[in-house]
Amino acid sequence: MSAFEFLMQGLGTAADPMMLLYALIGVTLGTAVGVLPGIGPALTVALLLPVTYRLDPAGSLIMFAGIYYGGMYGGSTTSILLNTPGESASIITALEGNKMARKGRGGPALATAAIGSFIAGLIATLLLAFLAPSIVKLALVFGPREYFALMVLAFVTVSAAFGDSALRGLTSLFLGLALACVGIDQLTGQARLSFGVPELLDGIEVTTMAVAMFAVGEALFIAGQRVQVDDEVTAVKGSIWMNRRDWARSWKPWLRGTFIGFPIGAMPAGGAEIGTFLSYATEKKLTKHPEEFGNGAIEGVAGPEAANNASAAGTLVPLLTLGLPTSATAAIMLAGFQQFGLQPGPLLFATNPTLVWGLIASLLIANAMLLVLNLPMIGLWVKLLTVPKPWLYAGILLFATLGTIGANPSAFELGMLLAFGVLGYVMRLFGYPIAPIVVGLILGPMAEQQLRRALAISQGDWTTLVQSPIAATLLGIAALALIVPLILRARGKGEVLSQLAGDED
């Protein structure tokens, strides 16, 4: 069957009334949580994971897809209406979007972000659907060494290539890899780093660690700040609709943003916000109104927002086809799959096509729902922005611990949450990025397994790792991604790299 037929079949699955309801709940919750200040898509997905625990796999994953897309939409609302600099994910949107909102053009800014996100989500999800089968075919020729090389590349791009310090990125990554070693060895069954504690034999739960790092660590960090920045919500005045001129200035950035964002999300570098940054730079260069940039240019909202959503869909390409998470958000989504014993990858397309295609189709549906949900109901979401900080963070911690308790109601698990929360706080304090430690924890065991398989096949000959052209190329790119930024930073050109790094996903 062609991708088109599969997609139609998937739409059939996703159009089931129960599934539509799950998708609707997912997008609503995703938007509601994503819109809260300080919560990016990674945390949204991690916090809402427990909601899906008791559903059937299809329903749960469809709800999850809705949460993911909803979190992205919600995030853009926050960055347009709130003056918080350093808000993760859509920091670029905030540059122009917040300026527009202050000039009383918040409505059109929100509209161009929502419609741009819709168009980007639509095109990118279709691209995902049509690309996935060919990548799956390609993935079938991948052996352990190619997978290992791919994971090494993902490690490097997530940790060392972007951000302001290769040292701190690599330290975060290796801490994740160290934590990944805890538990029973997958191949020989020996207990590693468990120190006789039975709870450690199962290894460290990715969701506990992600929630601790993102929710608890962030709450501690914000609470400890001596200067409390008061977020100021800009009211949406006037019409929320875009006029003819806004449309004329928006549609090209939407399309350009989509085609910039998607490939970048799909590459094993999806973690960084390069897509939004490149889109912004492109729009700034191409605009006929350069004087408006920095003062609220609509192109500066339309392009990056589209790029942001397109790269979110792009991240799903390696996740679904190769089982390779390239961002913290994707790592948590992988944990969502794993709670049902599902391992995304080429095999899942063969063994459970209804599920995979139902998921892809539900992304299209979720996207359409979000457009309807966001534009007319914007007033409701804006109210969520005004939740006072004490209640906001009290609620975040309530839900963070709820997820951990729901997965495993033991004091030990809560102790881990507290310990990793403090670790996350210290890492934030000293400028260590969070994504590498999460990606290291989830990809570490997979990379180790592939490496040991590859070496078992070659009977211990390490050169096997570079003897396949694909693996050698991937490792070469990984080496370049490690070395080139080091040279750039040494020459004092590191600022661009640190701007490219996303804070959270």
Partner 1 sequence: MSVSRYEPPRRRDTAALIIAAGLVVIGGVMLWDSARLADLGGYSGVGPASVPRVVGFALMGLAVWTAVEALRGDFPQRAPQNALPVLWIVAGLAAQLMLLHVAGFSIATGILFAFTARAFGKRNLATTIPIGIVVSFVVWAIFSQLLMLHLPAGPLEHLIFPRG
- Residue 438 corresponds to which tokens in the numbers above? 């999460």
Q: Is residue 58 a contact point for partner 1 (CB under 8 A)?
A: no
Nearest to 185 by CA among 440, 448, 412, 458: 448
Print the binding letters for residues 38-57 with partner 1: x by CB under 8 A, - otherwise. Answer: ------------xx-xx---
Answer for which of 11, 12, 143, 174 binds partner 1 (CB under 8 A) is: 174
Print the binding letters for residues 441-470 with partner 1: x by CB under 8 A, - otherwise. Answer: -------x--xx--xx-xxx----------
- Distance between CA atoms of residues 436 and 432, nearest Å: 9
Cα dihedral: 336, 437, 425, 423 (round 10): 100
- 3-state SS, residue 240: coil
Minimum CB–partner distance for residue 65 and partner 1 (Å): 18
Q: Is residue 387 a contact point for partner 1 (CB under 8 A)?
A: no
8 Å CB contact between 146 and 470:
yes
Closer to partner 1 by Cβ: residue 265 or 403: 403
Nearest to 106 by CA among 78, 139, 68: 78
Closer to partner 1 by Cβ: residue 104 or 395: 395
Closer to partner 1 by Cβ: residue 446 or 474: 446
- Residue 242 corresponds to which tokens in the numbers above? 């875009």
Q: Is residue 308 a contact point for partner 1 (CB under 8 A)?
A: no
- Distance between CA atoms of residues 435 and 69, nearest Å: 19
Nearest to 352 by CA among 13, 8, 4: 13
| Range 297-300 contact pairs with CB under 8 angstroms and sequence separation of 24 or more | 297/96, 298/96, 298/100, 298/105, 298/108, 298/109, 298/112, 298/246, 298/249, 298/250, 299/96, 299/249, 299/250, 299/253, 300/92, 300/95, 300/96, 300/97
Q: Is residue 398 a contact point for partner 1 (CB under 8 A)?
A: yes
Q: Is residue 207 a contact point for partner 1 (CB under 8 A)?
A: no
User: Candidates 31-39, 219-227, 289-297, 302-310 — which segment interacts with partner 1 by CB under 8 A?
Assistant: 219-227
Interacting residues of 475 by C-beta distance below 8 A, sequence separation 6+: 149, 152, 153, 465, 466
Answer for which of 417, 443, 500, 501 binds partner 1 (CB under 8 A) is: 417
Closer to partner 1 by Cβ: residue 1 or 223: 223
- Distance between CA atoms of residues 303 and 325, nearest Å: 25
Minimum CB–partner distance for residue 272 and partner 1 (Å): 19
8 Å CB contact between 357 and 6:
yes
Minimum CB–partner distance for residue 406 and partner 1 (Å): 4
Minimum CB–partner distance for residue 210 and partner 1 (Å): 16
Q: Is residue 18 a contact point for partner 1 (CB under 8 A)?
A: no
Interacting residues of 12 by C-beta distance below 8 A, sequence separation 6+: 361
Minimum CB–partner distance for residue 167 and partner 1 (Å): 5
Closer to partner 1 by Cβ: residue 9 or 449: 449
Q: Is residue 85 a contact point for partner 1 (CB under 8 A)?
A: no
Residues engaged in binding partner 1 (CB under 8 A):
50-51, 53-54, 164, 167, 170-171, 174-175, 177-178, 181, 185, 187-188, 190, 192-193, 195, 216, 219-220, 222-228, 389-391, 393-395, 397-399, 401-402, 405-406, 409, 411, 414-415, 417-418, 421-422, 425, 429-431, 448, 451-452, 455-456, 458-460
